[in-house]
Amino acid sequence: MRGTAVFVDTSIQIARFVHSREKKRRIEERLAKYDIVLTSSVVRQEFKRRLLKEAQYLLNTLKQKGSFEETHRHVTEMLSGPFHRRKQQICLLTISTILEGATDAELTERARRYLRFLLRFGLHTFDRSVDHHLLGADCHWANYPVRERKLERFDFGRERCSQSEGRCGVVSFLRENRDFASKVMDALRSMRDDGKTAEVATGERFLEEALADPECAPRLDPCLHVGDLMIALESAKIPDFYTMNRAESIVYCQALGQTLVIRPNNPAAEDEVVRL
Amino acid sequence: MLGKALRETQEDPVEKANIGFDLLEALSELWGYRDAREENWGDLLNVLQCVLKRESFEQLSAVKCECIERSLSEWLSSRYLQKEDIERALDCLVSAGFDPWVGISTGEEAAK
C-alpha cells in the first residue's frame, strides 16, 4: 500500500484519543500502511465540537457536584438514552480503574486535571497526529484557538458558519470544488428517497441551494448540519477515506470514487475495505 | 535516577519491573507535593502516573524507557513547566508509543 494517502475523519480522530486500547492499536496499524495521513478543517471543528465540548461539560459537572462518584451517577442518569450513549465519548470511569483504591476527593481532582489537560493540549495532539491538514472549507471556527477564559472555563469558538462574520471559507471552497459537489449531487439525486439517511437528505437539499448560489452557503451552517458532506468534499482528492461511520460515508465515497475503509466498533473486528 | 536505571536495565525483565514499581511509588510520593508546584507540573504528573500504571514494565521497550527518563529528568525535574514543555512531553510520550489519554479512554472491559 506504499505511496498512498489516507484521509481520517472525525470518528477516527476521536477514537485515536478516547476509545479502547485495542481499537487505537488497530487504527494505528492501519494508518502505518500509508505514507501520508491527512485530515481537514471541518474535522478539526467537529473534534472541538464533539470531544472538547464534552470535556467541558464533564469538567463543569465535576466542579458543580464536587464529587467524582456523584458526577458519574449524574452523567449516567442524564445521558442514559441510546442516542446520548452513542454520542458519549469520554469514559471517566477508567481513571478510577487505573487508580484503584483512590478516594473520591482524589479521583475528583485527577479527573478535573485530566479534562483540563485535554482541553488545553488536545488540539496540539490532534494537529501532530496527522502529516497534513487540508485547508478545505477553511472553517473559521476550526482555526479559532481554545482559550481558558478563567479557571476551567474554556472558549473554543462557536459552531455556526453564519456566526463567523464572513470569515468562513466555504463559499470559495464550493466554487473551487463545484465538480466534486455536482458529482455528489448527481449521485444523491439518483438514490431512492428511502435509501437516504436524514443527514444525506439534508446534504442533498444543501447542495441544491449551494450549487445554485454558493454565497448562501454560510447562512445554511453546513459544518454544523451537513458536516459529513463537507468532510467528504474536503477529502475528494484523497484516494482512501478512513471512518467509523458507514451510513453517510458509503454514499459520498461511492460518488467520489474513493476507497472506503471502515473501522468497526467492535475492537476485535478487522477493518472493512470497500472499493467503490 | 530511576529513569536512567530503567533505561540501563534492558536485559532483565524482573529487575526492570522492580524498578518500575519503585518509580510508581516515587511518582506517588511526588503527587503529595503537587500543591507546591504549578498546575502544569501536577497535570503532567497525573497523566504520567495513569500512563505508567497501565504498562507492563517487564516488556517496556528501550524507546519507552528513554521517554520515561526524559520525562523525569527534563520535565518533572524542571523548575517551572511551561505550556511548550508540556507539548514536548506529549510529543515524546506519543512517539514512544505511550497513550497519554488512557485515563479518559474506554476501558477494555467496557469495549467488549
Show the 3-state SS of A157-175. CCCCHHHCCCCCCHHHHHH
Task: Report yes or no: A139 at the B interface, CB cutoff 8 Å.
Answer: no
**Residues of chain B contacting A117 with CB distance shorter than 8 Å:** 43, 46-47
**CA distances for B69 relative to A114, A123, B7, B48, B72, angstroms:** 22, 26, 7, 12, 5
Matching residue, cell 512517539: B95
Residue in chain A lying closest to B42 (CA): A113
Q: Which of B54, B91, B104 sits opposite A114 (nearest CB)?
A: B104
Q: Which of B43, B53, B107 sits opposite A20 (nearest CB)?
A: B107
Q: Which of A114, A121, A129 sits opposite B86 (nearest CB)?
A: A121
* Band (A276; pLDDT cuts 50, 70, 90): confident
pLDDT of residue B110: 55
Residue in chain A lying closest to B50 (CA): A98
How many CB atoms within 10 Å of residue A25? 13
pLDDT > 90? residue A32: yes
pLDDT > 70? residue A8: yes
Residues in B whose CB is inside 8 Å of some CB of A read 39, 42-43, 46-47, 49-50, 53-54, 83, 86-87, 90-91, 94, 99-112
**Residues of chain A contacting B108 with CB distance shorter than 8 Å:** 20-22
Tens digit of each residue's pLDDT (9 = 90 or more) over A55-93: 999 999 999 999 999 999 999 999 877 767 667 889 989
pLDDT > 80? residue B1: no
Higher-scoring residue by pLDDT: A167, A238: A238
Tens digit of each residue's pLDDT (9 = 90 or more) over A101-111: 999 999 999 99
Read off the C-alpha cell for B73.
529528568
Residue A262 burial by CB count (10 A; 0-12/13-18/19+): exposed, middle or buried? Answer: buried
**CA distances for B63 relative to A31, B70, B93, B97, angstroms:** 20, 11, 10, 8
List, in order, residues 6 or more apart from A7 with CB less than 8 Å away: A38, A39, A40, A134, A235, A238, A240, A241, A242
Q: Give percent helix, percent strand, percent coil of chain B, each to the nearest 5.
A: 75, 0, 25
- How many Å apart are CA A244 and CA A212, to the nearest integer? 32
**CA distances for A80 relative to A75, A87, B54, B108, angstroms:** 8, 11, 29, 21
CB A253 within 8 A of CB A274: yes
- How many Å apart are CA B40 and CA B80, to the nearest integer? 9
Most confident of A12-16, A89-93, A153-157, B9-13: A12-16
Pairwise CB contact (< 8 Å): B105 & A19? yes
Tens digit of each residue's pLDDT (9 = 90 or more) over A153-198: 999 899 998 998 889 999 999 999 999 999 999 999 999 999 899 9
Share of chain B above pLDDT 70, in %: 96
Tens digit of each residue's pLDDT (9 = 90 or more) over B92-105: 999 999 999 999 99
Pairwise CB contact (< 8 Å): A21 & B43? no
Best mutation target among B37, B40, B105, B109 (most A Cβ atoms within 10 Å) is B105
List, in order, residues 6 or more apart from A86 with CB less than 8 Å away: none
pLDDT of residue B11: 79
Pairwise CB contact (< 8 Å): B106 & A120? no
Give me the number of domains chain B comprises.
1
Task: Report yes or no: A91 at the B interface, CB cutoff 8 Å.
Answer: yes
Tens digit of each residue's pLDDT (9 = 90 or more) over A205-224: 999 999 999 999 999 999 99
Instruction: Work out the minimum CA distance from B106 to partner chain A, whole angstroms.
Output: 5
- How many Å apart are CA A149 and CA A173, to the nearest integer? 32
Pairwise CB contact (< 8 Å): B99 & A117? no
**Residues of chain B contacting A115 with CB distance shorter than 8 Å:** 104
pLDDT of residue A80: 79
pLDDT > 70? residue B26: yes
Kindly state the average pLDDT of the residues A19-41. Answer: 97
Tens digit of each residue's pLDDT (9 = 90 or more) over B30-73: 999 999 999 999 999 999 999 999 999 999 999 999 999 999 99
List, in order, residues 6 or more apart from B36 with CB less than 8 Å away: none
Kindly state the average pLDDT of the residues A139-144. Answer: 93
Mean pLDDT of chain A: 94
* Band (A1; pLDDT cuts 50, 70, 90): very low
pLDDT of residue B107: 81
pLDDT > 80? residue A121: yes
Predicted model pTM: 0.94
Share of chain A above pLDDT 70, in %: 97
Kindly state the average pLDDT of the residues A256-264. Answer: 97
pLDDT > 70? residue B111: no
Pairwise CB contact (< 8 Å): B106 & A18? yes
pLDDT of residue B109: 54
Q: To the nearest 10°, the Cα dihedral for A55, A151, A116, A89? A: 0
How many CB atoms within 10 Å of residue A213? 10
Lowest mean pLDDT among A12-26, A85-99, A127-141, A236-250: A85-99
- How many Å apart are CA A11 and CA A26, to the nearest integer? 14
Q: Which domain, by its residues, includes B7?
A: 2-111
The number of angstroms, rounded, from the C-alpha of A209 to the middle of its chain's C-alpha atoms is 25
